Structure 1
């Protein structure tokens, strides 16, 4: 039987390698299932992949980055459901049908790599990072043990080391890539809590003190989500007032820390933001660090958006004091343009705090008697099990471009933001919310019909309705994508995010012209 199975395997391999000369043999039957070698025809698969890659290059890369093409081809959910035929059936579709599905998915998706996509904190296309993503998907690795991902384990270590050097941790630290900045911020809350109350890991919250944490009112919503998920509770997240530029006020922070202590609460963490989502503000890290040291609080810096300024000698001052943080979140998939997702969480601690906090010691993965150095089995630092080697996306790009080119990208993006701000100030009907500190440009468009109204409730009430209408029109036209939002008591305004080196001054001028054309009748 063993010999028969060996012959059968050889025959099947020959059959797939040479479809014109199949070799017949008797299958082995197990549970009424014939086991007659591989059922995947490698040649057919390769042919499909080649055709698919041609479509990707033509439709998802060339056309998607062509300024003459649409940013999106808008359809309502009901229309899109009909166009895509989303139902899953028992029978298989033909290869030609599948390729058409492929084309349709690209056609009706938003082209976030388009030069006129300014809607989110990511944009543009880097070819090296894209190829790195292709390699990851082709190899299908999972990053938990060195034995299954040796190359990617070492790549992650190298990238984290470089990022920690830029933060200013001369003695290094620890870290891990994970599934997004929200996850990184959750890690920070969990580690801060573990350092404060390590027994919670085993005993739970029942015997825990009344823990409270502090963050700017401008912080990312993931901080409150982390508090909810970890059982701290959103009411125990103290929102510290910010100044007119969106920066946390340190004196207000200390006041609330003292107030919380006087009420019997146990402060354990402060979250500072380096690059807020809307205004692009940078909290004064040095001053906040002084307060954290005084009160023995964990300082986390959410630099998911603003961390890229660390690669620029011209702009790294925005994060002055970040080397004093206990932990840092930084997303290379934002300003540095690595493919999604690419998110790093780093801690200054070198006592394996990250592993002690998260480890579960799964014996089927993390055996201690392996034949190699098990310190390279990094998976127990993560709350995930399966984990993509996302660091490879920034590593290959960094190798291809070098630090100098990355610095030039950041400098150019911020210079382009300054150009747009200057143009806004010079154009009738446009009003800048504030001078940009980073790559967030916030402004109002005031239609001709509202320009003679005095500042007051009537103007701002009517202006609040303008941006949503212009956004709808630009989406349905497909000309560009720019986000809008209210902020506190301020009426809806546009928030432009500039990242991609594909963006030109002509694109900036186009955005302002297009907003006027789409909204001048309002």
Structure 2
């Protein structure tokens, strides 16, 4: 083989040519060096993308190499963000007011007529992540859904790469099987015999609750599907005064009306009072309404209360009313042998919402609506569109689940849950949930030991810990309106200062006549006792500055 031919091969395939140089005694070392020189001269610098544009990537015929290098660069950006999210020396957020942030990012926010090169696109990715809140940071306590589980992250990456729809088996064969298996597993956790029943993944707990109300309405008044609201009597639904707002919103969206969503009083711990529920159902009947739906809550958003499910189930059976449990937050406690007793009686529910993207740490979004009886989702929602749901397909069309859904296009939310459950097993998830409750108990103990901290509710049922910080300047004030008015301003000021600093994030809100208080949520398995101590120290330090 001539040296010229080898050099040309070297330019096309460096590794192959190097092998030729190594094993051919007739090719000189200088040829290898000359090949390196040629590559240096003629190959582009793949570490930069100033002259590369999106249209040059796959599916362009010669786009493989550019695509691989570009994706590797993007993955490096993402890995760096994952590392920073777990680095306690980094800020939870780099906060700027909206108008300021708009000015700072003006160079990359606007969409221009001409395409930007991929170097700019990489810069845009970095800039975007720079100003994102690191919800996976161990000191982020602001929401019920926190953390950055690596296996779930891998699941989300694979899901995006597969980029398929969940409406039929023919385009999502593996994922539809996974969905069936995972939903069956979740129904088994609830306690429904052999995991029988039905369900579907929905875009968040609010939509899962919407499904429950829609199916319940169809079950009691099926003519509404074809004849509309004019064919229906005045339907009435009931939920706790501490329930999630999505229950009331479902009443608005489905034409029931928020005036017909009755909020049931709770006891001092935030649990629905069954006797009040029974009385309100009787009252609605006397006034000509048709009670059809009761929603109990497994882990209320603020106090973390679990309603008395068996008592509520008795009332629903007595009045022949659909019994739903909103377990978006607390449903995952079913996996823990230690804490599943919080949901005693949930197996009597007709439906249940469960959000693995909260307590189980699955990445957003991952929510399921689960039903005890099969076929109700299709009865309520199916329209048998012939361009999707043909009955004469070559496979069992029971796996074409799209007609159960409100949506047509439906994101694959099951894979990240399936693969994380595979990686952790029941035991891993149980240990996670027990560990989060242990961390909540540690927080409660520390609050009792520190001056200036007062519980909104002592010994809460669940992870939620609600408390006030009372600055030293206010501790001698007599309890009453003046003290409450001043205390109401403390949590917002502390929250603003911690966000400006970027040190931590904790949510706050009022409740009824109670002034603003902190609602502390530990739902990130990366959070440690020193992180809890840091957060309390920060609140105390900032509280004395306010």
- TM-score for both structures, normalised by structure 1: 0.92
The whole-number CA distance in structure 2 between the counterparts of 1:57 and 1:458 is 50
What does residue 148 of structure 2 align with?
125
Q: Give per-residue Cα distances to partners, 1:464-503, cap 9 Å, x unaligned.
A: 0000000000000000000000000000000010011211
Q: 2:351 aligns with which of 327, 331, 339?
A: 327
Q: 1:137 aligns with which of 160, 163, 182?
A: 160
- Cα offset, 1:191, TM superposition: 0.5
Q: 2:177 aligns with which of 149, 154, 160?
A: 154
Contact 1:414 1:438 in 2 (8 A): yes
Gapped regions of structure 1 (runs ≥ 5): 1-13, 15-19, 22-36
Q: 1:166 aligns with which of 167, 176, 189?
A: 189
User: Is the aligned partner of 1:295 residue 2:319?
Assistant: yes
Q: Give per-residue Cα distances to partners, 1:113-140, cap 9 Å, x unaligned.
A: 0000000001111111110000000110
- Cα offset, 1:38, TM superposition: 4.5
The whole-number CA distance in structure 2 between the counterparts of 1:40 and 1:326 is 56
SS state of the match for residue 218, structure 1?
Answer: coil
Give matches, 1:337-416, under 5 Å. Answer: 337-350=361-374, 352-416=375-439
Contact 1:84 1:101 in 2 (8 A): no
Gapped regions of structure 2 (runs ≥ 5): 1-11, 13-41, 44-58
Contact 1:247 1:282 in 2 (8 A): yes
Q: Give per-residue Cα distances to partners, 1:228-250, cap 9 Å, x unaligned.
A: 11000000000000001110000
What does residue 491 of structure 1 align with?
515
Q: 1:235 aligns with which of 238, 252, 259?
A: 259
Give matches, 1:222-261, under 5 Å. Answer: 222-261=246-285
Q: 2:450 aligns with which of 427, 430, 448?
A: 427
The whole-number CA distance in structure 1 between the counterparts of 2:411 and 2:545 is 49
The whole-number CA distance in structure 2 between the counterparts of 1:88 and 1:466 is 41
The whole-number CA distance in structure 1 between the counterparts of 2:236 and 2:63 is 58
The whole-number CA distance in structure 2 between the counterparts of 1:326 and 1:381 is 17
SS state of the match for residue 545, structure 2?
Answer: coil
- Cα offset, 1:40, TM superposition: 8.2
What does residue 271 of structure 1 align with?
295
The whole-number CA distance in structure 2 between the counterparts of 1:77 and 1:331 is 30
Give the total of aligned pairs: 487
- Cα offset, 1:42, TM superposition: 3.3
The whole-number CA distance in structure 1 between the counterparts of 2:326 and 2:192 is 16
User: Is the aligned partner of 1:75 residue 2:72?
Assistant: no
- Cα offset, 1:44, TM superposition: 2.0
The whole-number CA distance in structure 2 between the counterparts of 1:296 and 1:438 is 30
Q: 2:65 aligns with which of 43, 48, 58?
A: 43
- Cα offset, 1:39, TM superposition: 7.4
SS state of the match for residue 278, structure 1?
Answer: coil
The whole-number CA distance in structure 2 between the counterparts of 1:200 and 1:128 is 43
The whole-number CA distance in structure 1 between the counterparts of 2:202 and 2:282 is 34
- Cα offset, 1:95, TM superposition: 1.5
Contact 1:300 1:326 in 2 (8 A): yes
User: Is the aligned partner of 1:96 residue 2:119?
Assistant: yes
The whole-number CA distance in structure 2 between the counterparts of 1:512 and 1:127 is 28
- Cα offset, 1:41, TM superposition: 2.6
The whole-number CA distance in structure 1 between the counterparts of 2:207 and 2:61 is 39
- Cα offset, 1:46, TM superposition: 2.3
Contact 1:418 1:436 in 2 (8 A): no
What does residue 443 of structure 1 align with?
467
SS state of the match for residue 206, structure 1?
Answer: helix
SS state of the match for residue 125, structure 1?
Answer: coil
Q: Give per-residue Cα distances to partners, 1:146-175, cap 9 Å, x unaligned.
A: 010000000001100110000000141000
What does residue 199 of structure 1 align with?
223
The whole-number CA distance in structure 2 between the counterparts of 1:150 and 1:509 is 48
The whole-number CA distance in structure 2 between the counterparts of 1:416 and 1:119 is 16
- Cα offset, 1:272, TM superposition: 0.3
Q: CA RMSD in A?
A: 1.4
SS state of the match for residue 198, structure 1?
Answer: coil
SS state of the match for residue 508, structure 2?
Answer: strand
User: Is the aligned partner of 1:311 residue 2:335?
Assistant: yes
The whole-number CA distance in structure 2 between the counterparts of 1:131 and 1:83 is 32
Q: Give per-residue Cα distances to partners, 1:324-352, cap 9 Å, x unaligned.
A: 000000000000000110001010012x1
The whole-number CA distance in structure 2 between the counterparts of 1:372 and 1:501 is 42
- TM-score for both structures, normalised by structure 2: 0.88
What does residue 242 of structure 2 align with?
218
What does residue 57 of structure 1 align with?
79
- Cα offset, 1:509, TM superposition: 0.8
